[in-house]
Amino acid sequence: MLKAQGDSVDIRGVGIYMTFYADNYVKNVLRSDTTILKRASRKDSLFIKSLVIKANTDIKKAFAARQPVALISKSPSVKVKKWKAEGDLFNNFDTSDDYFDPTFNITINKAYTNFYYSFSIYVDEKGQMHYGEPLIAFFGESFREQYVHESQAVMNSYLKYYLKVTPGKTLNMPHTSLINIHVEGIAYP
């Protein structure tokens, strides 16, 4: 794997071999074009299929979906906003890996009480949600247990009923993937 930093490539300790083809060679010898050559090969498809089978049988083996999970609100009281990575100096203005860590802000108006929870969710190939883990640190185990219990209740009540969940896909194969949720409940005024 190459690591680019600015206009340089860090190759310390790495043996890198590349083959470059001229556009003339691709067109006249390979009788193809670059859009066809960029497509996933049979080996790629078989590799992804094996990962999909593993992820769908054990949610702990979930991996990032190239077309990430989509959450769509079914109620005007629930607002969903997906975080978007912004290019800056820390990521060299590259947002191409935004799909690795899908994160959503969800606001629920007219909730039973005010609350705010941050946790991860495994979304399986059928779009079903399974609780992952809290995304905050705890000082005591009793606080953690209470937080997990309450945030899991929010997922099982509000999120499952008020969100349409589309599972993530890679090479058009739906599979289990992990998302992060920051959900805020705002009580009746």
- pLDDT, tens only, 24-67: 998 999 898 888 888 888 999 999 999 999 999 999 999 999 99
Say how far apart CA 58 and CA 78 lie, in whole Å: 30
Alpha carbons 142 and 132: distance in angstroms, whole number: 18
Quote the pLDDT of residue 139: 86
Question: Residue 22 falls within a domain, yes or no?
Answer: no
What percent of the chain has a predicted confidence (pLDDT) above 90?
Answer: 65
Domain-embedded: residue 118: yes
CA distance 120 to 5: 31
Helix (H, G, I), strand (E, B) or coil at 59: helix
Name the domain count of the chain: 1
Task: Specify if 132 maps to a domain.
Answer: yes
Residue 110 lies in a domain: yes
Decide if 79 is inside a domain: yes
The string of pLDDT tens digits covering residues 137-179 is 998 888 999 999 999 999 999 999 999 999 999 999 999 999 9
CB 95 within 8 A of CB 168: no
Within a domain: residue 146? Answer: yes
Which residue reads 């191409």 in tokens?
Answer: 96
The mean pLDDT value of the chain amounts to 88
Is 114 within a domain?
yes
Q: Show contacts of 131-138: CB within 8 Å, 24+ apart.
A: 131/155, 132/178, 135/180, 135/182
Range of the domain at 166: 43-187
Judge whether residue 86 has pLDDT over 90: no
